[in-house]
Amino acid sequence: MHLCLFEDDHVAGLRPFVETRAAYDLRLAGRTVLATAADAFEPAGLVLHARPLVAEVTRHAHPGAVVNALPDGGDVLFLNGRYVAEGGAARRQLEAAPAQDGPRAFVQDDTLVAAWVPDAAARLPDDLLARPALTAGSFDGLPVTTLDDATLLRRPWDLLDTLRPALARDAEGLVDAPSGAPLAERPHATVHESVVGVRDEQIHLGAGTTVKPGALLNAEDGAIVLGPDATVHERAVVRGPCYIGPKTHVKTGANLEGTATGTWCKIGGEVHDALLQGFSNKSHPGFLGHSVLGQWCNLGADTNNSNLKNDYGTVSAYAPDAERFVDTGRQFAGLFMGDHSKCGINTMFNTGTVVGTNGNLFGGDFPPRYVPPFSWGGASGLTTYRLDKACEVAEHVMGRRDTPFTAAHRSLLAELFDRTRAERAEHHD
């Protein structure tokens, strides 16, 4: 069986994080949506459908996958790239699909969640995966099963709802195992004798992990997973559940709880219920709470975000696809910052602030609660961040993490810059 992750016509609701990647490449905690689905369904092969904007970077990110083409002679389980493959009745129904006699579509509230199609190349149009989006109409004529409890990401703040369940899932099989020896006795890691571990059996240390003097790892309320070559520095406090990605540094005196990072981040200060997609820095004192950062972001020293309104009401946030503020339904919602965005020292972000790709923010007072892609400035006004300068910075920053800035990356940013001209004209001074 092949697994095909596809993008549908609701993907734009996940901006800014889908401005530079396919929806299924969003990190949930220790794994992405794609990796979570692959582990759940264990396919023999992987097929990916991607919008034209992100198709080339998707090929670059997944060299072993077939992108935007159906496999010859293969049975395919099509899976919405916004679907979170957690437990429950929906997943059980999808797991049982290959045992059924014929093809079938699975729908929730008129949204296509999945489709099971034996010998897909023979049954489906040749251009199916060349289409910008797949919908229930793409599989007209298939019998339909209704799913009631499928979790679909619809807005950026949905990643906060799925964060703690994902942290628990991603720790399964890594903790509470025979390796739960006292931390200082684990031969594959370097742990100073003064490190305090609480519920060591709930703490997983990857190969090459370093935990320095005076650090505290408290797994009473959830597992802690430190990825390969991660480093927890002196006097840092990590309260589970947490997933610290490979090569990530938890800086001296940091205070983390309910947080996940991707690869090679730097994280310091107070960080609470936050998700860093990878390769991003929040190195200094300051508060980051109920927030999501994309890749290649950098927060200046003493950056703080608000995650709670003074009246304790639900937080609104700007939805670029709807061109208006919408109710998040959340009492706690902070900063949602797209890839390659940066802010200067002492930056303050209001509750429910959304920053698009390649924002460069600085100055006193709060910047606007919506910052379009390629914006430069702050509370005193926004202007356009030049594309050539943005690409130059991206190339330099990615090189510092041994990651090439490819022609595909440059082309994507150039197209995104052109697509968002009207937004900048509306929101800039």
Tell me the C-alpha distance between 7 and 291, whole Å.
24
Helix (H) or strand (E) holding 425: helix 421-427
Q: What is the mean pLDDT of residues 369-376?
A: 98
Specify whether the CB–CB gap between 378 and 365 falls below 8 A: yes
2-154 and 169-427 share one CATH topology?
no
Q: pLDDT tens for residues 52-62?
A: 999 999 999 99
Position 100 scores a pLDDT of 79
Domain layout of the chain by residue ranges: 2-154, 169-427
CATH architecture of 2-154: Alpha-Beta Complex (3.90)
Specify whether the CB–CB gap between 356 and 338 falls below 8 A: yes
Position 72 scores a pLDDT of 85
Predicted TM-score (pTM) of the model is 0.96
What's the mean pLDDT when you consider all of the chain? 96
169-427 belongs to which homologous superfamily?
A: Hexapeptide repeat proteins (2.160.10.10)
Tokens matching residue 283: 């190195």
| Relative orientation angle of helices 89-96 and 33-41, to the nearest 10 degrees | 60
* Tally of CB atoms within 10 A around 220: 9
Helices (H), 126-272: 158-171
Q: pLDDT tens for residues 312-354?
A: 999 999 999 999 999 999 999 999 999 999 999 999 999 999 9
Amino acid at 281: N
* Tally of CB atoms within 10 A around 303: 23
Tokens matching residue 137: 């109409």
Q: What is the mean pLDDT of residues 297-319?
A: 98
Position 308 scores a pLDDT of 98
Q: Is the pLDDT of residue 101 over 80?
A: no
Q: Is the pLDDT of residue 391 over 80?
A: yes
Per-residue confidence band for 397, with pLDDT thresholds at 50, 70 and 90:
very high
